[in-house]
Amino acid sequence: MTRFRAFTLTAVLAGLLAGAIAFAQGGGPGRRGPGGFGGPGPGPGGLPLQALNLTETQQDQIKQLTQQYRQQNQNIAEQVRTAMEAQRTAVEAIPVDEGRIRATTQALVDAQTEMAIQQARLRSDIFAMLTPDQQAQARKLEAQRSERVRQQGQRGQRR
């Protein structure tokens, strides 16, 4: 179960990182698809930017911000991948070395924590660039998305 959660968290964070990188590399109002404001899903920092009618200035500021975070996030993502591989190797080793498993698992948790903190900082910095109306709209859209995810989870449990 721990490996599944670690994999899931890493996949989600990698998706957020990929969205931020795609946006920083040229996503904009005229671009369609993931990473652009016309694309589906959340933008950098997990916010539904495509639905917020951002000004050109806001778009430029967000692009600059995501570029600042990009290198840090790439380094942290590499740390997560390395830590996951080390943990997997430790778990599969025979004979069992509990100390090694604990150490590699703690390294993985630390790397995932850093990734989560960076994503939260990016999200917070982007959110601060929004007008109060845009912030309210973002909160509303996020609540709707959370409700859809919750409902999908309930449907999945019934199967």
pLDDT tens track for 29-88 = 333 334 443 344 455 556 778 788 899 999 999 999 999 898 888 999 999 999 999 999
Q: Give CA angle at 114 (109, 118), nearest 5°.
A: 145
Q: What pLDDT is attached to residue 2?
A: 58
> How is the chain split into domains, by residue range?
2-158
Provide the CATH number for the domain formed by 2-158 in this structure. Answer: 1.20.120.1490
CA dist list (Å): 64 to 24, 33, 41, 110, 153: 7, 20, 21, 27, 36
pLDDT > 60? residue 151: yes
Q: For residue 77, what are the contacts with CB-CB under 8 A and spacing of at least 6?
A: 13, 14, 17, 115
What percent of the chain has pLDDT above 70?
69
Residue 122 and residue 4: Cα distance in Å, rounded?
Answer: 25
pLDDT > 50? residue 27: no
Is residue 45 within 8 Å of residue 109, measured between CB atoms?
A: no
Give the predicted TM-score (pTM) of the model: 0.63
